[in-house]
């Protein structure tokens, strides 16, 4: 493959990842906090952007998962590289804008930055939520080609709000999986990466799947792994994830990012993509390209 066609393929996968994140968020949000049984009796199989849910969303409307990712992405783009305070400032501006939803741990961390200038929340055994993992995609795009840069940027942004070994492990390994998927690696290769995580932290074992899809990062990642590795298309992966219920917008946002990177932009169903806000779609499309073009992968190849 020529350098140019390799780069074009990565750009498509990067757009797929960011659009996939937003699509998963918007599709899953109406099912957030429902059980599998409740989704089944209400929708049969939820496979369309219906809106509603506890946040009373418009069809296609995204929530904090996409919005926090945008905060990080814009910070990196605006400074032309990694900036922890830039990311924290954007999150602070976002929190002040009274977002439709924000997790308690995220709110606490961002408020500690606003009030005390804290950029690292102290270790806390209750910080095992999925709030760091759900916003990590932009960092994976920007650090493509440099595993140690991925690690340092990931831990910095994660610790703004979550300082917990399982959150760290999940967020870091999600970044590594995104790097592999963005560069066109195979499903078995991604599976091997997850095996490494399981060897270090057996909590993440997902086979047999326990059927928990809560906001606890262990449950979240088990759900993402279960749905991603058993499906064979972007659509099947995201539908499977959403219909587990629980923290459905966040599990589907993460699964959507991973599946979008793996299957590429073209694999995202048009009926979902069309429901996203046009301005949002244009911005995430542009940001995806801008972030990977800033990455070490594009600088050295
Ligand atoms: Mn959300
Ligand atoms: Mn959520």
* CA–centroid distance, residue 294 to ligand 2 (Å): 29
How far does residue 189's CA lie from ligand 1's centre (Å)? 30
How many whole angstroms from 134 Cα to the centroid of ligand 1? 9
Domain spanning 3-300: CATH superfamily = ADP-ribosylation/Crystallin J1 (1.10.4080.10)
Q: Is the predicted pLDDT of residue 253 greater than 60, yes or no?
A: yes
Are 247 and 130 a contacting pair, CB within 8 Å? yes
Residue at token pair 């409307």: 61
Least confident of 1-15, 220-234, 278-292: 1-15
pLDDT surpasses 90 at 3 = no
Which ligand sits closest to the CA of 25? 1
Q: How far is the CA of 110 from the centre of ligand 1 (A)?
A: 16
Q: What is the pLDDT of residue 301?
A: 54
Among the bound ligands, the one closest to the CA of 216: 2
Instruction: Look at residue 9 and tell me whether its pLDDT is greater than 60.
Output: yes
Closest ligand to the CA of 215: 2
**What value does the mean pLDDT take over residues 80-85?**
98
Residue 248 has pLDDT above 80, yes or no: yes
| pLDDT, tens digit, 9 for 90 and up, residues 204-216 | 999 999 999 999 9
Q: Read off the pLDDT of each residue in 198-203 and give the average, rounded to a whole number.
A: 98
Does 146 score more than 90 pLDDT?
yes
Residue 45 alpha carbon to ligand 2 centre in Å:
19
Span 230-255, average pLDDT: 98
Cα(249) to ligand 2 centroid in Å equals 5
223: left (phi over 0), alpha (psi -120 to 50) or beta: alpha
Instruction: Return the domain boundaries, the chain.
Output: 3-300
Q: State the pLDDT at residue 106.
A: 96
pLDDT at 51 over 70: yes
The pLDDT of 75-100, averaged and rounded, is 98
Q: Say what percent of the chain tops pLDDT 90.
A: 97
Q: What is the mean pLDDT of residues 154-175?
A: 98
pLDDT averaged over every residue in the chain: 97
Cα 25 to ligand 1 centre (Å): 7
Q: Classify residue 270 by burial, with Cβ atoms within 10 Å: 0-12, 13-18, 19+.
A: exposed
Mean pLDDT of 227-246: 98
Q: Is residue 300 pLDDT above 80, yes or no?
A: no
Closest residue by Cα to residue 164 from 117, 132, 124, 193: 124
How many angstroms separate the alpha carbon of residue 1 from the centre of ligand 2? 39
Indicate which ligand has the atom closest to the C-alpha of 62: 1
Which distant-in-sequence residues (6+ apart) come within 8 Å of 150 by Cβ?
139, 140, 143, 172, 175, 176, 179
Kindly state the average pLDDT of the residues 169-173: 98
Q: In which band, very low, low, confident or very high, does the pLDDT at 241 lie, cut at 50, 70 and 90?
A: very high
CA 54 to ligand 2 centroid distance, Å: 11
Q: What pLDDT does residue 268 have?
A: 98
């Amino acid at each position: 493959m020529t350098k140019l066609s390799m780069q074009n393929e990565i750009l498509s996968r990067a757009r797929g990842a960011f659009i996939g994140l937003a699509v998963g968020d918007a599709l899953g949000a109406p099912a957030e906090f429902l059980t599998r049984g409740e989704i089944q009796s209400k929708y049969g199989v939820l496979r369309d952007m219906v809106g509603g849910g506890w946040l009373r969303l418009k069809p296609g409307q995204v929530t904090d998962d996409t919005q926090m990712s945008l905060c990080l992405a814009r910070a990196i783009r605006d400074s032309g590289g990694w900036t922890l305070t830039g990311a924290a400032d954007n999150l602070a501006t976002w929190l002040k804008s009274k977002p439709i939803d924000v997790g308690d741990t995220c709110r606490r961390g961002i408020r500690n930055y606003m009030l005390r200038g804290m950029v690292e929340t102290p270790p806390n055994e209750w910080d095992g939520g999925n709030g760091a993992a759900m916003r990590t995609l932009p960092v994976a795009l920007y650090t493509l080609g440099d595993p140690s840069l991925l690690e340092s940027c990931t831990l910095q942004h994660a610790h703004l709000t979550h300082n917990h070994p399982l959150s760290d492990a999940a967020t870091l390994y999600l970044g590594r999986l995104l790097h592999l998927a963005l560069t066109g690696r195979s499903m078995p290769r991604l599976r091997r990466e997850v095996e490494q995580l399981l060897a270090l932290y057996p909590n993440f074992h997902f086979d047999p799947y326990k059927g928990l899809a809560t906001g606890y990062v262990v449950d979240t990642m088990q759900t993402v792994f279960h749905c991603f590795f058993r499906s064979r298309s972007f659509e099947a992966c995201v539908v499977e994830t959403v219909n587990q219920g629980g923290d459905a917008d966040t599990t589907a946002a993460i699964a959507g990012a991973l599946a979008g990177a793996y299957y590429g932009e073209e694999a995202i169903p048009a009926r979902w993509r069309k429901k996203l806000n046009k301005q949002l779609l244009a911005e995430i499309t542009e940001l995806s390209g801008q972030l990977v073009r800033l990455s070490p992968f594009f600088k050295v190849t």
